[in-house]
Structure 1
Amino acid sequence: MSNKFKILCLILIIAIVLTAVINLNTGFISLQIQDFFQDSTNSQIAEIRVNRVLVMFLAGISIPTSGFLMQEYFQNPLAGPDILGITSVASLSVAFYIFFSHDILIPEFLQNSFLSLAAIGGSLLLMLVLLSMSNKFQDKSYLIIFGFLVSAFAGAIVSLLQLYAENQSLKNYILWSFGANNMVSRNQVYVLTVLVIIGLFICFKSIKPLIGNSLGSSYAQSLGVNLHQLKLLIIVASSLLSASVTAFLGPILFIGIIVPHFCRLIYNPAKLWQQWILNMFLGVFIMLFFSIIAEKTQIPLNVISSVFGIPVILLMLLKQNKA
């Protein structure tokens, strides 16, 4: 590893530690150190803040990794779980679950699992459709247009469901769509951790074939890369990572696009192993930073990510147009 990469990692680790500490001390009530380790009047508030930091850590790892995998596979810097419609379809699946599951008796400890399964199932279905369409489109940029159409269609169905939903179901969906990171329980953190670990393991198996794929499909096959297997790995890993976070935190938009973009700006984009590590470190820092802003301003997390992400993507488009 180069000295530049080590320095970047060290800076990001220090930034992550600082933002995590600030997160633990951000809220309406000031906490003492013993509140995090002993039973006290504020120990429940301390647990909520710890859960908030943990879920931001997991989201910061998952969403940029999903975007990184898709951008490298499609060779398109605008590819991502939200642009290609994965986040929208995951949101639609969650909407169906929230609006129609109130008539079904589901044990409380299984409700979170079904919520994540709904989001992951919807995103997997869309990824299968996207990859089948990629074989028909010679220009993969058409997939971006297809993703926008899917997002618009999913949004229209969600709006229709909201129109006829009961008041409590509608309230639950709106609260979920705001990205309320303070509402995530410890059991949900455990479920999300398991899903993220599985997704990261699949990503680990995908990096080496992706390096060969970046040199061209013919050259990749000559190196022994199984392109069909690589496609399946990308489907499962990207969908699992993005949809699991969407299930518990709501749609966190544009992070999967801008974080890989920043990482390519600060370090050699050809070194995929290092790029993946930088994506995770930078993603965790950005999510923790956004969490601080959300707590200070009481603005929903997905609104903050959109306000930050839209200008960055616009600048990316202008830069590509000039090139």
Structure 2
Amino acid sequence: MMSNKFKILCLLFLIAIIITAIINLNTGFLSLNVQDFFMSSENNQIAEIRVNRVLVMLLAGISIPTSGFLMQEYFQNPLAGPDILGITSVASLSVAFYIFFSYNILLPEFLQNSFLSLSAIGGSLLLMLVLLSMSNKFQDKSYLIIFGFLVSAFAGAIVSLLQFYAENQSLKNYILWSFGANNMVTRNQIYVLSILVLIGLFICFKTIKPLIGNSLGTSYAQSLGVNLNQLKLLIIVASSLLSASITAFLGPILFIGIIVPHFCRLVYNPAKLWQQWILNMFLGMLMMLLFSIVAEKTHVPLNVISSIFGIPVILMMLLKQNKV
């Protein structure tokens, strides 16, 4: 049974999401009327861009916090996330390789989108496999965060090297992608992204019940019949799909996968993982829509806004943990 507090939280988040989505649709250089979104007019294309912007922010708000939530619950570390552990950096490196080395290859748009997402997912899957193999060797899983920082630094160095030798157009394409330009995502890209996100969410659904057992300890989980190796594989695939697919189309949106699960644990019982997952998706959508409004108003790139907001929050989390 869902508690009244949980129902009220969901209702408040839903109302706030609808309001911020409407504000998003009305944010831009031109003022649009309702008919521009539903009937043929000279501003139809602008209306479509704004609708696409809202849709992709909703998908990002669902995906990145879910990925962070899965990793934090599995590693039992509130600082685990797709960017801290280097998954976002490796996905960015894979996309950089694709952008810089496929510039002269002519492909249909749909295939370009597919290869872009596949390159990001492939890179993040590879890193997740390495991370999980390392987790068996480290007694203290906090060492994985140090390992993730090292991986991020290495990936950043390789990207810088690629940028140094890249052609002008390839470099421009990569920089535009890395800014997190949510206005550039097309409807076809949203279709591809939606499929990847739905697959990731379905796998996530399969992991919640085993994660509840895993949170009570390895021995207890095994006594309940939890297949820990299968759980590990599902966490790898779901986290990589959800974080890398968004990274492929929107660029590296940092720290959201860490701070949204943290806020959700503050407002509701952390032990109730099903409710935590739902709250993560609601709060994630709200936060991404708010960031989108700020990005449109200030013309500051989306990933810069997420970093400006996320870094102080993570610093406060570290200070709070140190006091405890």
Q: Same fold (TM over 0.5)?
A: yes
- Residue 58 of structure 2 is matched in structure 1 by 57
Secondary structure, counterpart of 1:30 in structure 2: coil
Secondary structure, counterpart of 2:83 in structure 1: coil
Deviation at 1:102, TM superposition (A): 1.4
Q: 1 CA distance for matches of 2:40 and 2:60?
A: 28
- Residue 136 of structure 1 is matched in structure 2 by 137
Q: 2 CA distance for matches of 1:197 and 1:277?
A: 15
Deviation at 1:104, TM superposition (A): 2.3
- Residue 3 of structure 2 is matched in structure 1 by 2
User: What is the one-letter code of the residue matched to 1:239?
Assistant: S
Q: What does 1:1-323 correspond to in 2, within 5 Å?
A: 1-323=2-324
How many residue pairs align between the two structures? 323
Deviations 1:45-85 (A, max 9, x none): 00000000000000000000000000000000000000000
Deviation at 1:181, TM superposition (A): 0.1
Structure 1: runs of 5+ lacking an equivalent? none
Q: 2 CA distance for matches of 1:106 and 1:125?
A: 26
Deviation at 1:107, TM superposition (A): 2.3
Deviations 1:67-126 (A, max 9, x none): 000000000000000000000000000000000001323222210000000000000000
Q: 1 CA distance for matches of 2:102 and 2:31?
A: 38
Q: 2 CA distance for matches of 1:108 and 1:91?
A: 20
Q: 1 CA distance for matches of 2:231 and 2:142?
A: 20
Q: 2 CA distance for matches of 1:322 and 1:109?
A: 51
Q: 1 CA distance for matches of 2:109 and 2:269?
A: 47
Deviations 1:215-257 (A, max 9, x none): 0001000000000000000000000000000000000000000
Q: 2 CA distance for matches of 1:135 and 1:79?
A: 16
Deviation at 1:302, TM superposition (A): 0.2
Q: 1 CA distance for matches of 2:104 and 2:251?
A: 23
User: What is the one-letter code of the residue matched to 2:157?
Assistant: A
Structure 2: runs of 5+ lacking an equivalent? none
Q: 2 CA distance for matches of 1:160 and 1:190?
A: 33
Secondary structure, counterpart of 1:273 in structure 2: helix
Q: 1 CA distance for matches of 2:108 and 2:268?
A: 48
User: What is the one-letter code of the residue matched to 1:43?
Assistant: N
Deviation at 1:140, TM superposition (A): 0.4
Matched-pair contact (CA < 8 Å) for 2:110–2:189: no
Identity of aligned residues (%): 88
Secondary structure, counterpart of 1:102 in structure 2: coil
Deviation at 1:275, TM superposition (A): 0.1
Q: 2 CA distance for matches of 1:36 and 1:98?
A: 33
User: What is the one-letter code of the residue matched to 2:62?
Assistant: I
Secondary structure, counterpart of 1:118 in structure 2: helix
User: What is the one-letter code of the residue matched to 2:180?
Assistant: G
Secondary structure, counterpart of 2:137 in structure 1: coil
Deviation at 1:298, TM superposition (A): 0.2
Q: 2 CA distance for matches of 1:42 and 1:290?
A: 24
Q: 1 CA distance for matches of 2:110 and 2:214?
A: 42
